[in-house]
Amino acid sequence: MIMNTMQQRPESKGTTFYALGLSYKKADAEVRGKFSLDNQKKDALLQQAKAEGISNLIVTSTCNRTELYGFAQHPFQLIKHLCENTAGSIEEFQKVAYVYKGNEAIAHMFRMGTGLDSQILGDFEIISQLKSSFIQSKNLGLVDAFSERLVNAVIQASKKIKNETDISTGATSVSFASVQYILNNVPNVSDKNILLFGTGKIGRNTCDNLVKHIDNNHVSLINRTKDKAEKVAGKFDVTVKEYANLQTEIQQSDIVIVATGAQQPTIDKEVLASTDKELLLLDLSIPKNVNDDVLELPNVTVVHLDDLSKITDETLEKRKEHIPQAERIIDEIKGEFLTWMETRKFAPTIKALKQKLQEIKSEEIDFQRRKNNDFNESQAEVLSDRIIQKITKHFANHLKADDTATNDSIAIIEKVFQL
């Protein structure tokens, strides 16, 4: 673990720790799509930020949100990098964005990473996405002890909430909600031809839920990379179709679930124009992978993931009962992190104080050695070291106290001892 104490505090070298971004709460799917970042765009953003002096930054981008966590002198430094690497503008960002700083930014990461801020309560897929984003930043040298400790604390809280509460009980997620929608709205679903397009995480989870909850032997799978589709198909015992035959397969389907990671729509009016049968299209992608022009076709019904996320059932209502317990777990682990952070905040001062006292000790022992022929240097060393230890401990305890204005106390100590 890197122990760079100058970057372990929320404010260092004139910078502040920020969490900023946009989510499903104020930004619809179209706007979220403009600010969406695939791995290549995330890498470009991180590289650009590093080149322009940002030393600590984590970027997450999911179907529900795009967020940046990092240190900057002003949040606009981070916002600029986001807008320059996406199709979104600063004006659009300002309309739907949120910006948290310091301890509020830390608290937001805890709520986000533990599923309490998810579009569907208790959806824990976000924590694996946070881990991946952290690793991507770490590989580029854009994390330090502060961010590593923070992400590990959020992971710890997520695990504890999952293990000790029932907030994640029941298969409630966007992928399950899509299957639930089909069950509730499509008659004779066992006889329908279902096509799943895309084998990313949401696609795999959707395939899993289709097999578990729908009694149907007519499920097909298509992916641009066929071997990825075959791996998923082998696990769930479904049929793989050729990507080149996508249009033909759609024409033969009653239900099409689109869950690709494409940055542009993959299904449009032209692809569907040659079919006149009733077709249900479920788009689980951000940005949208189903072009809005398909709404002009009277035989096609389109349901986007934002619509699916509004589905509330008994499982979701039961989850809400466990929010207070989850929040208590967050407060406990977040409190431990904040205590560590405060300790690291004054650690350089205590270290400098101890070094200053050691210098004073050495000067005084040297003086007494020259002045007194019978001076017991070894006893003086032991006695002085014990006194120094007790003095620094008193200062450390003072700085740890809840009622201490730490920054003011550090300033006074540094002034008095000329640190």
Q: Which residues are catalytic?
A: 63
The DSSP code for 287 is: S
| Tokens matching residue 351 | 């270290």
Alpha helices in 60-124 (DSSP H): 75-84, 90-96, 103-113
Distances (CA, A) of 203 to 6, 209, 408: 43, 10, 54
H/E/C letters for each residue in the chain? Answer: CCCCHHHCCCEECCEEEEEEEEECCCCCHHHHHHCCCCHHHHHHHHHHHHHCCCCCEEEEECCCEEEEEEEECCHHHHHHHHHHCCCCCHHHHHHHCEEEECHHHHHHHHHHHCCCCCCCCCCCHHHHHHHHHHHHHHHCCCCCHHHHHHHHHHHHHHHHHHHHCCCCCCCCCHHHHHHHHHHHHCCCHHHCCEEEECCCHHHHHHHHHHHHHCCCCCEEEECCCHHHHHHHHHHHCCEECCHHHHHHHHHCCCEEEECCCCCCCCECHHHHCCCCCCEEEEECCCCCCECHHHHHCCCEEEEEHHHHCCCCCHHHHHHHCCHHHHHHHHHHHHHHHHHHHHHHHHHHHHHHHHHHHHHHHHHHHHHHHHHCCCCCHHHHHHHHHHHHHHHHHHHHHHHHCCCCCHHHHHHHHHHHCCC
